[in-house]
Amino acid sequence: MTDHHLIAQFKEGSMKAMEAIVDRYENRIFTFGLKMCGQLQDAEDITQDTFLNAFRYLNSFREETKLKNWLFKIAATACIRKRRKKKCEPDRELSLESFMNKDGTFETYDIPDWSDDPSDKVLQAEMKAVINNAIKTLPHKYKLVFNLRDTEGFSTKETADILGISIESVKTRLHRARLALREKISHSYSEGKIL
Amino acid sequence: MKEECKKNFERISEYLDGELNHNVCQHIEEHLKTCPECRSCVDALKKTVDLCKKSAREEIPRDMQNRLRSKLMECFGKREPSRESESSLT
């Protein structure tokens, strides 16, 4: 059943439609919350806030955007609000120059390949831990863009709409986030954190 | 760092995402053929993106799933009468 049908049924009072929407999106919203905050408790709060707000306002949702995009807009707002509440330090900027060598050369980075072999579960868990730790260290505004674009697969335009920023800002932040992750993952790899 | 390399360095993500026009892509590809440093830079960034995408998905733990449904039932279980007979979220 399409999201459009589920929304229509929810508006008619169907609890089954609400359940179906939750079933469809809870893992994605949870993943986003976890990647944004790095803590299970925070991810749970983000997930609850997102669905509570979504169903509170779904009756007036006019489907000018996809349900998925709308849910992520609510989730992103919940993440920003949570960060404000925690009174975190202001976001630091990632400058492009910081990823370049001053002597005119590029650093070489060794990045491992992801193993799809089911018998490599330990390796996959190690890689996942390294990647999640690297994502955790990104400044908040870069992390938001990275998670929407590369984890959730939203387009540049969709990400800009969800966050209410320009397409250029999305591109700039995504590129710098990726460069920072490349550096972190490569360092962990060379330190033997991924075998 | 050569000006050409610097210019490409700024656009690698757009290049990987297919967001540059054909002429610019072609220009970058020509440069990559003769510049092993930039080639290695592009490869490492591509591998980073692939790795992050493949390791992305998480599953919400069962207890959190149950608490979410209880909370939603508590808040929305007494809405307008449903047309359906079933109204359980669990």
| Domain extent listing, chain A | 3-85, 96-190
Is the confidence metric ipTM above 0.90 for this complex?
Answer: no
Residues of chain B neighbouring A47 (CB-CB closer than 8 A): 60, 64, 68
Structural domain contains residue B67: no
Contact B6 A31 (CB under 8 A): no
Are the C-beta atoms of A126 and A194 separated by less than 8 Å?
yes
- Could you read off the pLDDT of A21-40 as tens digits, one per residue? 999 999 999 999 999 998 99
Q: Please give the average per-residue pLDDT across A63-69, as a whole number.
A: 96
Are the C-beta atoms of A170 and A145 separated by less than 8 Å?
yes
- Could you read off the pLDDT of B3-43 as tens digits, one per residue? 888 888 999 999 999 999 999 999 999 999 999 999 999 99
Are the C-beta atoms of A92 and A180 separated by less than 8 Å?
no
Per cent of chain A over pLDDT 70 is 97
Average pLDDT, chain A: 91
Are the C-beta atoms of A124 and B55 separated by less than 8 Å?
yes
DSSP secondary structure string, A59-76? GG---SS-HHHHHHHHHH
Contact A13 B65 (CB under 8 A): no
Residues of chain B neighbouring A13 (CB-CB closer than 8 A): 79-83
Task: Give the domain range for residue B20.
Answer: 3-54
Task: Report which residue type is found at A77.
Answer: T
Which residue in B50, B72, B83 is closest to A14 by CB distance? B83
| Closest CA in chain B for residue A49 | B68
Q: Nearest 5 degrees, angle CA A75-CA A52-CA B63?
A: 90
CA atoms within 13 A on the CB side of B36: 1
Structural domain contains residue B10: yes
A119: DSSP letter: G
CATH architecture of A3-85: Orthogonal Bundle (1.10)
Of A117, A119, A139, A114, nearest to A189 by C-alpha is A114
pTM of the model: 0.90
Q: Name the region of A153 (left: φ>0; alpha: ψ -120 to 50; beta: rest).
A: left
CA atoms within 13 A on the CB side of A35: 33
Structural domain contains residue B32: yes
Per-residue pLDDT band at A89 (split at 50, 70, 90): confident
Question: Class for domain A96-190, per CATH?
Answer: mainly alpha
